[in-house]
Copies of this chain bind each other. A is one copy, B any other.
């Protein structure tokens, strides 16, 4: 893509409303804009990051046999009344009435709807186990939306749900999800912990959260340096490890995912029953599993930035490489830039070319700000010696390479 043609409105100044570093950098880099409190528009760069994260999530969900479906954002009140959450959840739920006066709400999560679906479709033990997932918008009327995309009133969520005959089946799907989550967050380049947590409004028997350590995190986790035990501070009493007695250390963290053993909390009220091998009617045993792609993006920025901007991990960067021709009027510079651009494109890499007619200083600043992992800088001085610069955004290491070598270097660094 051409920087000049692409809609990347970078900003020189820090917007007044920004709090977290990720928020500042996503605004300055032209990744998002705030429409109203807690409501964000994703611009092309930001949406590319979300799409890359979603692709990783989908691959790992498919790998554990989850099947993608799609449920509505708008829900009839009845199913929420049947589980009682219509009454238990207060101001956080957006409620409305349709033209006939029927009570409706906007989906904060989809346990009710998926359990309704299971109740109509699952009949026998032969239909189990099942794992269904979606990437769908959730709406929650947060009291204090803040920190950019970290706490919003509308956000995309990957939510999956498992349906099993019994607790043993649930345990298996729960572990499979935990493993998939480890792979997803690792592929996104995050530092994270899996910690014990409180099931909260989901109900159910057990829960874990996936926490990315960051000073802007709203959660606090406790970690045992000796035995590796970790938990959400909320459920942890005292400052000694309950497993080995060593001292616990606390750390702020961003919640990027969670997994819940729901058991029969939803299948009982919504009558999601199946017939077992002996013909007895039993409630389906469920699990529920969430990931917030926007929180992954924000946590990645919080963990990987410097004074000049974002340092994207290559798995979720909006582009693989950026080409910076420093003088648009120099035919030789442009010839090499275009040739590297088309070659990398043909090899399947996503390349951003800064073809704006602006000073080298602006190109350097914007490239560091938006944080694409590798930059190929093509300037007159180096070109006299037949070389271009291949720069790592992260290490700032610069290699002077022949154009041909730079093309090979893209394959080595960004491939596979």
Say whether B154 contacts A72, CB under 8 Å: yes
B interface footprint on A55-72 (CB within 8 Å = 1, 0 otherwise): 000000000010111111
- The segment from A88-96, A204-212, A280-288, A399-407 found at the interface with B is A88-96
CA distance A116 to B40 in the complex (A): 13
Asked whether A215 is an interface residue with its Cβ less than 8 Å from the other chain, the reply is no
Say whether B41 contacts A70, CB under 8 Å: yes
Say whether A68 contacts B47, CB under 8 Å: yes
Interface residues of A: mostly helix, strand, loop or mixed?
mixed
Asked whether A153 is an interface residue with its Cβ less than 8 Å from the other chain, the reply is yes
Closest to A9 in B: B121
Asked whether A137 is an interface residue with its Cβ less than 8 Å from the other chain, the reply is yes
Given the contacts A35-B113, A94-B98, A96-B95, A139 and B68 also touching, CB distance less than 8 Å: no
Asked whether A202 is an interface residue with its Cβ less than 8 Å from the other chain, the reply is no
Asked whether A409 is an interface residue with its Cβ less than 8 Å from the other chain, the reply is no
Asked whether A349 is an interface residue with its Cβ less than 8 Å from the other chain, the reply is no
Asked whether A76 is an interface residue with its Cβ less than 8 Å from the other chain, the reply is yes
Contacting residue for A50 out of B36, B70, B75, B139, CB 8 A = B70
A112 CB to closest chain B CB, in angstroms? 10
Copy number in this complex?
Answer: 2
Asked whether A44 is an interface residue with its Cβ less than 8 Å from the other chain, the reply is yes
Say whether B33 contacts A72, CB under 8 Å: no
Asked whether A229 is an interface residue with its Cβ less than 8 Å from the other chain, the reply is no
Q: For residues 27 through 53 of chain A, which have their beta carbon under 8 Å from a beta carbon of chain B? A: 33, 35-36, 39-44, 47-48, 50-51
CA distance A99 to B38 in the complex (A): 13
Closest to A6 in B: B67
B interface footprint on A76-89 (CB within 8 Å = 1, 0 otherwise): 10000000000000
A142 CB to closest chain B CB, in angstroms? 9
Say whether A33 contacts B76, CB under 8 Å: no
For A51, the chain B residues whose CB sits under 8 A away are 68
Asked whether A362 is an interface residue with its Cβ less than 8 Å from the other chain, the reply is no
For A106, the chain B residues whose CB sits under 8 A away are 74, 96, 106
For A141, the chain B residues whose CB sits under 8 A away are 98-99
A154 CB to closest chain B CB, in angstroms? 5
For A75, the chain B residues whose CB sits under 8 A away are 35-36, 39
In the A-B complex, the 4 residue pairs with the smallest Cβ-Cβ separation, listed nearest first, are A96-B96, A36-B76, A42-B70, A91-B99
The residues of A with any CB-CB pair to B shorter than 8 Å are: 5-7, 9, 33, 35-36, 39-44, 47-48, 50-51, 65, 67-76, 91-92, 94-96, 98-99, 106, 113, 116-117, 120-121, 130, 132, 137, 139, 141, 143, 153-154
* 5 pairs of residues in contact across A and B, judged by CB atoms under 8 Å: A7-B121, A42-B71, A44-B69, A51-B68, A99-B141
